Homo-oligomer: A and B are copies of this chain.
Amino acid sequence: MAEPLVVALLGFGNVGSSVWQLIEERSRRLGWAAGRPITVRRALVRDPGKPRPVTPPPGFLTTDLDEVLSDPAVEAVVELMGGLEPADTYVRRALSAGKSVVTANKELISRDGPELLRLAREHGAQLRFEASVGAGIPIIRPIEEMLVANRITRVTGILNGTTNYIVSRMASAGATFREALAEAQELGYAEPDPSDDVEGRDTARKLAILASYAFGSWVSPDSVYTEGITALDPVDLGYAAQLGYAVRLVGTAIHREAGIEARVHPALVPQDHPLASVRGPANAIFVEGDPVGELMFYGLGAGGYATASAILGDLVQVARGSRPWRPEPRSGAEAAPVLPADAIHSAYYLRLEVADSPGTLAALAGAMARHGISLRQVLQMRAQEGRAEVVFVTHPAGEAEMRQARKEIEALPSVHRVASLLRYHDGTHGNPPRRSTGPSGTSA
């Protein structure tokens, strides 16, 4: 029998205990796939005395990282603490000790991926993080391996279950953001401090990891234009529904000639688009490639068991020790530039509070036209006490032009305020796949 892969867990909460249970329960099939047994020797925790839903054997829990790292039998470490510290230090120490690392930590990977991969390579270890995006949804390995022949041009989707639950509830129950957030917290879908989720940072991190692997060039989450859902008004969800759209927090990355466009913001999605049917805490990721066309991967985006599914797939991969299918994404000076927010090109939804007086609409339309923005739909809603609400839907326009037009509009005497500005989802759903080169195209 081949030598077992001995694993240590850093963290023994929801995910960690699921990983441990599954390795115990499914040892035969995991061992078959890995070509050798997989066993968990230890789990690092802060408080071994804390009551837990599962009871590991005596001596299993430890508070001493050195005990884990100095054990020569431990070949792989599963990091499930989350956050930057102490996870970052622990992962670096594990890799430097030649131990492979499997992690679900999107914050860490999106910030330090290139350096951690280099560290792994230098010490003959593997670093795997399938669970960091979309929990149990297979996405990183399909992009790396099964789609190896493809030039991926776009990744886009719903990458955060907490915000998707909140936005779905705001639409279905007419709830405000605060009300829907409180409900999500009660149900355990949102953390006590939900700011990383609701401000879009969690989505930006996952998008950055996806884009890095899809395009072969590291994208920093700091370079992703990021707008969360805290300012979403149920009024706009209602108008959007009237226009035939659902609103979702969508992350989109596009590989353009000039560089990578990457952004996270609430987006209007046609009601019959598959993204609109993603409700509650689910995630859905579109990948557009040449020659494969458009693919979608959908599933639960969080949870101990779903995350454990991906962790175990990665652990088997570590045990098999197979070589990578693609070069590491380029980083530093070799990376493709990430385009500034001004490069965004989108159709826009604007809601304005204006004076209900003659000439107002003409002035508004004129301001848009001066910046080359043409209108697709204009709705004039509820006029009361001399005020009207106007909703504009524009044809695709540049972000810079839109900002200029908005400034000009806000300066108009008949405009009370621009109550909201939302972008349309930039997807190509339903279009046939495109080839980027002709039948006699050249080079790889």
Contacts and interface: CB of A to CB of B under 8 A. Distances in A.
Interface of A: 17-18, 21-22, 24-30, 32-33, 35, 53-54, 130, 136-138, 141-142, 145-150, 272-274, 276-280, 284, 289-300, 303, 305-306, 308-310, 312-313, 316, 320, 322-323, 325-327, 430, 433, 435, 437, 439-444
B277 A29 contact: no
A141 B136 contact: no
Contacts of A439: 17, 21, 53-54
Nearest to A148: B33
Given A291-B305, A309-B150, A277 B279 contact: no
B296 A298 contact: yes
A362 to B, nearest CB: 38
Nearest to A323: B35
A245 to B, nearest CB: 14
Given A138-B138, A277-B276, A439-B21, A148 B293 contact: no
Given A145-B316, A149-B316, A273-B277, 13 more contacts: A17-B439, A21-B441, A26-B149, A54-B439, A142-B146, A149-B308, A272-B279, A274-B278, A297-B298, A298-B298, A306-B433, A320-B322, A320-B323
B433 A22 contact: no
Given A145-B313, A278-B274, A137 B295 contact: yes
Most buried by B among A149, A433, A437: A149
Given A30-B149, A312-B149, A313-B145, A295 B440 contact: no
Nearest to A143: B138
Nearest to A309: B292
How many of these chains are in the complex? 2
A142 B147 contact: no
A203 to B, nearest CB: 20
Nearest to A281: B432
A339 B430 CA distance: 37
A29 B327 CA distance: 9
Contacts of A444: 25-30
A147 B444 CA distance: 31
A270 to B, nearest CB: 10
Contacts of A309: 147, 149-150, 289, 291-292
A313 B148 contact: yes
Most buried by B among A147, A277, A443: A277
B325 A322 contact: no
Contacts of A277: 272-274, 276-277
A292 B136 contact: yes
Contacts of A435: 305
Contacts of A22: 149, 291
20 contacts: A22-B149, A22-B291, A25-B442, A25-B444, A27-B444, A136-B292, A137-B295, A141-B142, A146-B313, A147-B309, A148-B313, A149-B312, A150-B309, A274-B274, A279-B430, A292-B306, A293-B303, A297-B297, A303-B433, A305-B433
Contacts of A21: 439-441
Contacts of A308: 149, 291
Nearest to A150: B309
A147 to B, nearest CB: 7
A292 B290 CA distance: 29
Contacts of A284: 296
A436 to B, nearest CB: 9
Contact of A313 (B138, B149, B294): B149
Nearest to A276: B277
A55 to B, nearest CB: 8
Contacts of A310: 146, 292
A262 B295 CA distance: 26
A32 B440 contact: no
A25 B443 CA distance: 5
Contacts of A30: 148-149, 444
A328 to B, nearest CB: 12
Contacts of A148: 29-30, 33, 312-313, 316
